[in-house]
């Protein structure tokens, strides 16, 4: 399985801070235009990302041209930059539509723990911050080991960003206990469901589940479904899809009100739930193809 954690973090702290300063001084539009030059540079120097983008573009039905690779990288850079505006509460620069948000808020405020299963699709941050705006704090479960520089910059603008962060970079058992505690306390836990955890392939660990995605089998983590089964909590698919120049559509779609795994054939049950997630992810990916940001060999065995 390709290990996305070995992909070096792009840029430098001073470079990221310079871009942030440009955005704060000159505004989102001018900074966004500069991102095109950044995308061209990385399309040239980052061969692995360029090849992964081309492979993905072909699978999703777009021409795998250098121009489309640049557009793909520019979209990622723009969504990343928009995190700055979201974290500093500058909602007025965005046009935001929320699909089924009222049902999600009602479920969250009912005191029942909920798992939000997202993806590297559009903006996960805008979904988290929007939920916080209506008084629903979200615990983010992620491995930021290859994005430490940008996280350091983001913390300088929002010190609370780490208050509800559960890291997967360390001991997986500790992370699972933290997730369990949050769910049992009636909290909201958000997990990115399109990258298996680092320990998924080790002996004795829960392996990833392979499911069809964009025409070929790909690995997805089984952990979220095992947690939902053990904790009897619902699972929602979530995504914050970006559309130029400033529109985000936030989706909250119920995948399972209660996850039930067959004792006699747990693998088949896990595959059924994983396929439901992969189908929603594929539908949104095909609808907004430049919003999916996994720049590595996602389909590697």
Residue from 243, 292, 280, 277 nearest 62 by CA: 292
- In what helix (H) or strand (E) does residue 166 lie, and over which residues does it extend? strand 165-167
Q: How far apart are CA 224 and CA 231, in angstroms?
A: 10
pLDDT at position 88 is 77
Q: Are 98 and 130 a contacting pair, CB within 8 Å?
A: yes
Classify residue 128 as exposed, middle or buried by CB count within 10 Å of its CB (0-12, 13-18, 19+): buried
Confidence bin at 29 (pLDDT 50/70/90): confident
The answer, yes or no, to whether residue 286 has pLDDT greater than 70, is yes
Confidence bin at 99 (pLDDT 50/70/90): very high
Average pLDDT in the 251-257 region? 94
pLDDT digits (tens, 9 = 90+) for 258-276: 999 998 889 999 999 999 9
pLDDT at position 149 is 61
Least confident span in 146-150, 194-198, 221-225: 146-150
Average pLDDT in the 50-73 region? 97
Other beta carbons within 10 Å of 36: 15
Other beta carbons within 10 Å of 97: 12
Least confident span in 44-48, 88-92, 215-219: 88-92
Between helix 172-184 and helix 223-231 the angle, nearest 10°, is 40
Q: Say how many CA atoms lie within 13 Å of 68 toward its Cβ.
A: 17
Least confident span in 4-13, 92-101, 229-238: 4-13
Residue from 238, 242, 248, 237 nearest 291 by CA: 242
Helices (H), the chain: 13-26, 28-45, 47-60, 66-87, 101-109, 124-133, 148-157, 172-184, 223-231, 266-287
pLDDT at position 154 is 64
The two three-digit tokens of residue 9, written as one number: 């973090």
Alpha carbon 72 to chain centroid, angstroms? 16
Cα–Cα separations (whole angstroms), residue 167 to 24, 163, 241? 29, 11, 24
Q: How far apart are CA 155 and CA 259, in angstroms?
A: 35
Residues 6 or more apart in contact with residue 260 via CB below 8 angstroms: 229, 269
Listed as own residue / partner, the contacts of 62-65 with beta carbons closer than 8 Å and 24 or more positions apart are 62/289
pTM > 0.95: no
The answer, yes or no, to whether residue 254 has pLDDT greater than 60, is yes
Other beta carbons within 10 Å of 277: 24
Q: Are 10 and 143 a contacting pair, CB within 8 Å?
A: no
Residue predicted with more confidence, 67 or 88: 67
Confidence bin at 8 (pLDDT 50/70/90): very low
The answer, yes or no, to whether residue 297 has pLDDT greater than 80, is yes
């Amino acid at each position: 399985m390709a290990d996305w954690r070995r992909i070096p973090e792009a840029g430098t702290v001073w470079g990221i801070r310079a871009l942030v300063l440009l955005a704060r001084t000159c505004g989102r539009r001018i900074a966004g235009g500069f991102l095109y030059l950044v995308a061209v540079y990385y399309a040239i120097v980052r061969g692995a990302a360029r090849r992964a983008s081309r492979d993905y573009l072909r699978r999703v039905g777009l021409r795998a041209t250098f121009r489309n690779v640049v557009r793909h990288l520019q979209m990622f850079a723009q969504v990343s930059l928009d995190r700055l505006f979201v974290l500093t509460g500058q909602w007025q620069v965005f046009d935001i539509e929320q699909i089924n948000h009222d049902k999600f808020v009602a479920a969250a405020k009912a005191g029942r723990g909920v798992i939000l299963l997202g993806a590297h699709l559009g903006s996960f941050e805008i979904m988290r911050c929007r939920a916080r705006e209506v008084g629903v704090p979200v615990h983010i479960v992620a491995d930021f080991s290859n994005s430490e520089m940008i996280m350091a910059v983001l913390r300088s603008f929002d010190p609370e960003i780490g208050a509800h962060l559960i890291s997967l970079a360390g001991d997986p058992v500790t992370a699972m206990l933290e997730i369990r505690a949050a769910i049992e306390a009636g909290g909201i836990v958000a997990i990115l469901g399109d990258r298996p955890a680092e320990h998924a392939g080790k002996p004795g660990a829960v392996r990833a589940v392979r499911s069809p995605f964009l025409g070929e089998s790909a690995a997805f983590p089984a952990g979220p479904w095992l947690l939902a089964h053990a904790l009897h909590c619902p699972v929602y698919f979530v995504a914050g899809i970006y559309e130029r120049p400033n529109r985000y559509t936030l989706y909250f779609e119920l995948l399972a009100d209660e996850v039930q795994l067959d004792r006699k054939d747990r693998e088949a049950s896990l595959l059924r739930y994983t396929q439901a997630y992969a189908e929603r992810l594929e539908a949104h990916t095909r609808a907004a193809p430049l919003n999916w940001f996994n720049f590595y060999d996602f389909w590697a065995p």
